[in-house]
A and B are shown apart, each in its own frame.
Chain A
Amino acid sequence: MTFDMTMALFRPALKYAMEKNGHGKTLGLKMTEINRGEINLVFPYKEEVVGNPLTGVVHGGVIVSLLDTACGSAAMTVLNTPAVTPTIDLRLDYMHPAEPHKPIYVEAKVYRQTANVIFCRGLAWQDDKENPIAHCVANFMKVDSKSINFSAIAITQLRRLMPWGKTTDSDKETGK
């Protein structure tokens, strides 16, 4: 694999935007893998997000957030100029309830893109990827990146936190 400069710069910005801001931070999700058209993340179990108080099973809404985040991020990574990709729609099938007190793993992949639309698939599982808790398909719009200053903001926030040169070095090591 050749070194992908756009991804090397975008990877920390995306990780920062998703893990350290708003709902992603509140959920405590961690992006474990960020590549072109592919995202992996993990969510630790949290008592606060229980949907069924009788069983301690997390609410389906959490799975929606995780898959929406993963698919949306995967969609962003296929653009040459990273920008926000508004979600058109999302369909989720719940195969079985998540077991309490266990982390949830999520994988999202872009399987097709056209001039205007990015098609994504996502999977959420705990012990066995072959026996997932949920599967989703989500579609995203490609919009004019000039109208959105997302990457600029993420990079500015990142710069405030750490010296920029240091970040690029570590990215070169992990860059594929």
Chain B
Amino acid sequence: MSSEEMSLEQNKHQLKEWQESIAAARQENSPQTVMEMIPYAAFIGAQARIENDQLLYWLDKKPSNIGNPSLPAIHGGVIGGFLELAAAIEIIYTLDIAAVPKVVDFSLDYLRAGRYKTIYAKCQVLRQGKKLINVTASAWQDDENTPIATARCHFLI
């Protein structure tokens, strides 16, 4: 077996393991298990749970997520990264697709400063095509109706 065939074989094996872990997470109704499979989630401290049949994501306050130390405010990039991560988890957990979705573009509107407290987020898959998925995500702190940021994301599958 050539090294190329071997790495291909290894990829197949890894993908199979990945799919099995996701299926197990769905069985246990535990989106947090999927979250924990992605190292970046632990890096920013993102978590997920099911609430009213919908996925709810949250990000507890953490010194390493501060952007502007004088306010203090959460780093805009962290809010963006959190929403992009939430959108990816939404796809992985709720849609039946084989691989990890690849992000194509990401658009983020900052509506209010992210104060140094927990940020919540919800996502909605607006369209699932054969190749492309469109997801929107919204983040808030005190009240779901006064979002601090909204995002729109395209993923290739």
Among A47, A59, A97, residue most surrounded by chain B Cβ atoms (within 10 Å): A59
Which chain B residues border A66 with CB–CB below 8 Å? Answer: 77
Q: How far apart are B121's CB and chain A's nearest CB, in angstroms? A: 12
Q: Is A149 an interface residue (CB 8 A)?
A: yes
Q: Is B42 an interface residue (CB 8 A)?
A: yes
In the complex, which of the residues A26, A52, A54, A89 contacts B64, with contact meaning CB atoms closer than 8 Å? Answer: A26
Q: Is A84 an interface residue (CB 8 A)?
A: yes
Q: How far apart are B33's CB and chain A's nearest CB, in angstroms? A: 13
| In contact, A17 and B69 (Cβ under 8 angstroms) | yes
Q: Is B108 an interface residue (CB 8 A)?
A: yes
| In contact, B14 and A54 (Cβ under 8 angstroms) | yes
| In contact, A54 and B15 (Cβ under 8 angstroms) | yes
| In contact, B84 and A23 (Cβ under 8 angstroms) | no
Q: In chain B between 60 and 94, which residues have their CB closer than 8 angstroms to a CB of chain A?
A: 63-72, 75-78, 80-82, 84-85, 88
A68 to B72, CA, bound (A): 17
Q: Is A78 an interface residue (CB 8 A)?
A: no
Which chain B residues border A47 with CB–CB below 8 Å? Answer: 39
Interface size counted on chain A using CB atoms at 8 A: 45
| In contact, A22 and B63 (Cβ under 8 angstroms) | yes
Interface flags for A29-53 (1: CB within 8 Å of B; 0: not) read 0000000000000000001111111
| In contact, B82 and A61 (Cβ under 8 angstroms) | yes
Which chain B residues border A159 with CB–CB below 8 Å? Answer: none
Interface flags for B91-109 (1: CB within 8 Å of A; 0: not) read 0000000011011111111
In the complex, which of the residues A24, A62, A72, A94 contacts B40, with contact meaning CB atoms closer than 8 Å? Answer: A62
| In contact, A93 and B11 (Cβ under 8 angstroms) | no
A166 to B114, CA, bound (A): 36
Which chain A residue has the least Cβ–Cβ distance from B88? A51
| In contact, B66 and A68 (Cβ under 8 angstroms) | no
Q: Is B37 an interface residue (CB 8 A)?
A: yes
Interface flags for A2-23 (1: CB within 8 Å of B; 0: not) read 0000000000000001000111
Residues of chain A whose beta carbon lies under 8 Å from any beta carbon of chain B: 17, 21-26, 47-55, 58-62, 64-69, 72, 84, 86-94, 97, 148-150, 152-154
Given contacts A26-B64, A91-B105, 8 further A-B contacts (CB under 8 A): A21-B66, A22-B64, A23-B66, A48-B43, A60-B81, A68-B80, A92-B108, A150-B70
